[in-house]
Each structure stands twice: as C-alpha cells, then as structure tokens.
Amino acid sequence: MTTEPNTRQQLIEVARRLFAEKGYGATSVADILRAAGVHSGSLYHFFPTKQDLLLAVLDGYLDGIEPMLLEPAWEGVDDPVERIFALLAAYRRFLEQTDCFFGCPIGSLALEFHEPDPPVRERLAANFAAWIEAVRRCLVEAGSRMQLPRDIDVDALAGFVLTTMEGAVMQARTFRDLGAFDASVRCLRDYFGRLGAVATPSSTAPRREFP
C-alpha cells in the first residue's frame, strides 16, 4: 500500500514533469490526478490548491540545485571559470537530449506568470538567487586565482551569466537549434577570455580583496 509521504512525493514529481512539459496554466488538476494515479482526496489532503502544489515543486527545485544540478555538472572540474561553462554544458545536454524542447523550468514559469502571487514570486526569485550565488562563488574563486580583473563586479557578472543561459535556452527552444545556444555561450566564453587577458596583477594597481 502506498504510504502518505510516498503519495505526496509522487504528486510533486508528476506535477514537476507536467508543469515543465505543458506549463502551469495548461496543466489541470485532472491531468495531475490521472498521471499520478490517485484520487482527488489524496491531492487535496496534501495540497489544498494547485498553487500549493506549485510551491512544493519550486521548493523541490531549490533543494535540489546542489545535488541534482551543480554536483553532477562540476564533478572533476577544478577550475572555477570552467565550472561555470560546465554548468552551461549541462543545460546544453538537456537541450540535446530533448531535441531542444527542454527549458529551464524556473525561467519558463517566470515567463508564464504575468504577475505571480507573492509566494510564487518569492520561490522563483529564491531559485534564481541560488543559481546566481553558485556562479558567484565560482567568480570569487576565479578572482582569488587572478583569473578576473580586480575591480570586476562579481554580483553583476553572475547575473549576466544567468541572463545568457536563460536567453540561450529560450532561443534554442524557439528555433529548435542548438546553434542558438552555442553562439551565446561562445560570446560569453570570449568575454571571459577578454577579462582574463586584463587580469594580470599590476605592481601599481591597488589590490582588491574578493569577498
């Protein structure tokens, strides 16, 4: 017999998949019940509203960013700049495996909602913030290794990396072409190369400590 915790997790996993495939608005409660193989009473026992289920899905993404995304992408990658591009490469693999159908689930949901309720917006923002912070840590380490200029704004650059990734995924999905993704990543790689080229310490330049 299925236990209550298993039923709750099953509902979250089914909703995660359907929201990613169809979108939140296009996924009905009936779709979720049918795919999960449970009755409405089981759903409403755990999630009084569809939005409550969405919040659980977003919490799951946030909790899973390290074990499900970052750790697999960064395994064996020591260089902090290369970790950033390894993360982007992970998204490219998702695109390749799904014929450019895959989209960043957080980005897709953020675009779908014109004005999300505060709890949803806060969860979306928390997911983006966690992604940015992971990249920021790479940038801070790169700065300590003299791979970036002393005066680089690591917060802004981390946000720019996220913007590049989201835009690249969106274009690849729209054109159904990995070339759109690859072109954006090449430009970002070129930018990092230019930053690295001016990062050589100068004996006269003041030393900036990275936070």
Distance (Å, whole) CA 108 – CA 24: 9
Reduced 3-state DSSP string for 158-181: HHHHHHHHHHHHHHHHHHCCHHHH
In this predicted model, what pLDDT tens digit does every residue of 139-196 receive, in sequence order?
Answer: 999 999 999 998 999 999 999 999 999 999 999 999 999 999 999 999 999 999 999 9
Q: What is the DSSP letter of 207?
A: P
In this predicted model, what pLDDT tens digit does every residue of 24-44 receive, in sequence order?
Answer: 999 999 999 999 999 999 999
All residues at 6 or more sequence positions from 141 whose CB lies less than 8 Å from its CB, including other chains: 80
Q: What is the DSSP letter of 49?
A: S
Tokens of 19: 């929201």
In this predicted model, what pLDDT tens digit does every residue of 40-71 receive, in sequence order?
Answer: 999 999 999 999 999 999 999 999 999 999 99
The mean pLDDT value of the chain amounts to: 92
